């Protein structure tokens, strides 16, 4: 089998919460060697640990910090999950310490708020980043408060996935220039960028109404979810006229008897009709009606159903010649299980640096101390 596309890329991931571990997970799934640096304050129970190893280093302990600096001289990427200024206070300034030591290093700094913005020194979570990005104001039903889509949009899409993009772009640039650089990613700008289409569409009739009254935000009755007879759900996305006609055909509704869909004032009445009709059959019965029919109607599947069908053992992007690493059997929930602090880290340390335990380094309470014979 061909090697994964990121084979040979060495990534040091400083332990953090969801977005940075997800960034490391994507890189690991596509072949990078990812070494997580854990310390006494590292988060416990990180499930985004598939294909990774861990090395225990207390970065407030100078000898352990020296180990990290030397380790980064052998690395391609550093993932920094901390708030602005933390690396600098640890004596690990990218421009003053890390890049002079290894000019080819890509330092990916992933923060929640903008590093130069009003909230840069404040704590926050996904909902806060979405709020100040302008995206949260667009999400939710018309008669309800703004509603976040769990922490998928800020943490994982606007944060972790955008950081992966930045790392790959920096590695491409390094291929041309020979030098690394600092990648600045934050969940505010990442989320705002993902919302480019709806933001621009607010100047058009397609998304020009208030929240929850547009075509794709729950306002449109033929782009919504409906409860079935067995208290399950189906999704409907029949935007185009031909799909809408197929929807009505599958539901057994005569267009001549329905309110015109062009009249937004009739959307509530049309929604009530759809709700009543979908409630007449079970989800499985509606699947049988719409399977193979271009009506854009599909069941709303649960995680357990996906796992039974094996759909959760697929990576998001398949490369025909250099595919990513397979998800091991029994890990269909997309996790690799938790990774205990220190698991596999010394093996990676040896592979990257050639150091031998007891000769080049010794283990201490703070992690590891470099010996005088270390091959730097």
Q: What is the DSSP string of 323-356?
A: --PPPPTT-TTS------TTTBHHHHHHHHH---
pLDDT band at 159 (very low <50, low <70, confident <90, very high): very high
Give me the mean pLDDT over the 191-202 stretch: 96
pLDDT band at 303 (very low <50, low <70, confident <90, very high): confident
- CA 371, chain centre distance (Å): 39
Does residue 148 contact residue 129 with C-beta atoms inside 8 Å?
no
Which backbone phi and psi does 99 adopt, to 5 degrees?
-70, -35
Q: Does position 371 have pLDDT exceeding 80, yes or no?
A: no
Range with the lowest mean pLDDT among 18-27, 235-244, 362-371? 362-371
What is the predicted pLDDT for the residue at 1?
Answer: 59
Give me the mean pLDDT over the 322-344 stretch: 75
Query: Which residues are marked as active site?
Result: 155
pLDDT band at 198 (very low <50, low <70, confident <90, very high): very high
What is the predicted pLDDT for the residue at 230?
Answer: 98
Quick one: DSSP state of residue 83?
Answer: P
Residues of the chain above pLDDT 70, percent:
96
Q: Does position 333 have pLDDT exceeding 60, yes or no?
A: no
Give me the mean pLDDT over the 217-225 stretch: 97
Q: What is the DSSP string of 124-185?
A: --HHHHHHHHT-GGG-S-TTS-----TTIIIIIIIIIIHHHHHHHHHHHHHHHHS---EEEE
In the chain the domains, ranked by start, together with CATH numbers, are 10-194+312-370 (3.40.50.10540), 223-227+233-299 (3.30.1540.10)
More reliable by pLDDT, 376 or 126: 126
Give me the mean pLDDT over the 330-358 stretch: 81
Give me the mean pLDDT over the 82-110 stretch: 96
Q: Does position 301 have pLDDT exceeding 60, yes or no?
A: yes
pLDDT in tens, 4-23: 999 999 999 999 999 999 99
Q: Which residues on adjacent β-strands are paired with residue 344? A: 54
Q: Does position 318 have pLDDT exceeding 80, yes or no?
A: yes
What is the predicted pLDDT for the residue at 332?
Answer: 45
More reliable by pLDDT, 311 or 46: 46
pLDDT band at 260 (very low <50, low <70, confident <90, very high): very high
Give me the mean pLDDT over the 144-155 stretch: 96
What is the predicted pLDDT for the residue at 334?
Answer: 47
Q: Does position 103 have pLDDT exceeding 50, yes or no?
A: yes
Q: Does position 42 have pLDDT exceeding 80, yes or no?
A: yes
Q: Does position 309 have pLDDT exceeding 80, yes or no?
A: no
Give me the mean pLDDT over the 135-140 stretch: 96
> Distance (Å, rounded) from C-alpha 366 to C-alpha 40?
9
For the entire predicted model, the pTM comes to 0.93
* Mean pLDDT estimate for the chain: 93
Does residue 108 contact residue 166 with C-beta atoms inside 8 Å?
yes
CA 312, 36, 98, 350 torsion-angle sign: negative
What is the predicted pLDDT for the residue at 338?
Answer: 82
Does residue 334 contact residue 343 with C-beta atoms inside 8 Å?
no
Q: Does position 307 have pLDDT exceeding 50, yes or no?
A: yes
What is the predicted pLDDT for the residue at 329?
Answer: 64
Coil/strand/helix, residue 294: coil
Give me the mean pLDDT over the 286-308 stretch: 93
What is the predicted pLDDT for the residue at 345?
Answer: 94
């Amino acid at each position: 089998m061909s090697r994964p596309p990121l084979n040979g890329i060495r990534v040091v991931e400083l332990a953090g919460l969801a977005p940075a571990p997800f960034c490391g997970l994507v890189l690991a799934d596509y072949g990078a060697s990812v070494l997580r640096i854990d310390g006494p304050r590292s988060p416990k129970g990180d499930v985004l640990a598939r294909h990774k190893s861990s090395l225990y280093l207390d970065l407030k302990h100078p000898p352990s910090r020296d180990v990290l600096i030397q380790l980064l001289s052998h690395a391609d990427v550093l993932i920094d999950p901390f708030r602005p200024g933390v690396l600098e206070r640890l004596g690990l300034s990218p421009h003053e310490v890390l890049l002079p030591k290894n000019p080819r290093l890509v330092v990916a700094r992933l923060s929640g708020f903008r590093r130069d913005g009003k909230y840069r020194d404040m704590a926050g979570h996904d909902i806060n980043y979405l709020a100040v990005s302008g995206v949260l104001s667009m999400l939710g039903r018309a008669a309800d408060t703004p509603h976040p889509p769990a922490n998928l949009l800020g943490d994982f899409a606007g944060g972790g996935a955008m950081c992966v993009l930045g790392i790959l772009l920096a590695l491409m640039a390094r291929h041309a220039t020979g030098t690394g650089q600092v990648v600045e990613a934050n969940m505010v700008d990442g989320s705002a960028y993902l919302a480019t289409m709806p933001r621009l569409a607010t100047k058009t009739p397609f998304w020009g109404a208030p929240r929850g009254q547009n075509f794709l935000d729950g306002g449109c009755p033929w782009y919504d979810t409906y409860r079935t007879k067995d208290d399950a759900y189906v999704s409907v996305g029949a935007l185009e006229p031909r799909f809408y006609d197929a929807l009505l055909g599958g539901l057994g509704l005569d267009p001549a008897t329905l309110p015109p869909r062009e009249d937004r004032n009739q959307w509530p009445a049309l929604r009530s009709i759809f709700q009543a009709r979908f409630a007449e059959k079970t989800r499985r019965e509606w699947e049988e009606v719409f399977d193979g029919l271009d009506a854009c109607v599909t069941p709303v599947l649960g995680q357990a159903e996906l796992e039974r069908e094996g759909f959760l053992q697929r990576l998001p992007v398949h490369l025909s010649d250099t595919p990513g690493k397979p998800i091991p059997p029994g890990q269909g929930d997309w996790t690799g299980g938790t990774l205990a602090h220190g698991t596999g880290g010394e093996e990676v340390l040896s592979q990257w640096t050639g150091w031998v335990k007891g000769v080049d380094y010794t283990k201490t309470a703070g992690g590891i101390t470099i010996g005088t014979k270390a091959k730097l």
